[in-house]
Amino acid sequence: MHVHEKRKLLEAIDVLIRRPASATETTIAEAMAYFKMLIEESTQGQIEVRYSDTTQQLLF
């Protein structure tokens, strides 16, 4: 994982923690994607991150 990718992850996390009201769909997507990349690369694929869409299961 390159430094600029780690920086994007940190920026997205910063927005989510300090200014959650200003987080956009892109902010959340970047945080999730770069987190997945960080975990999978740092564990050399031994840990795999998967996300599932559970919006279909919501009752409202």
> pLDDT for 5-51, tens place per residue?
999 999 999 999 999 999 999 999 999 999 999 999 999 999 999 99
CA distance 16 to 23: 6
- So what's the pLDDT on residue 1? 87
Asked whether residue 20 is domain-assigned, the answer is yes
Asked whether residue 19 is domain-assigned, the answer is yes
Asked whether residue 59 is domain-assigned, the answer is no
- Residue range of the domain that includes 26: 3-43
Indicate the number of domains in the chain: 1
Asked whether residue 16 is domain-assigned, the answer is yes
Asked whether residue 39 is domain-assigned, the answer is yes
Asked whether residue 55 is domain-assigned, the answer is no
* Torsional sign, CA 13, 23, 20, 22: positive
Q: Which residues contact 27 (CB under 8 A, 6 or more apart)?
A: 12, 15, 16
Asked whether residue 54 is domain-assigned, the answer is no
Distances (CA, A) of 49 to 9, 11, 26: 15, 20, 19
Which token pair is 49? 């991150």
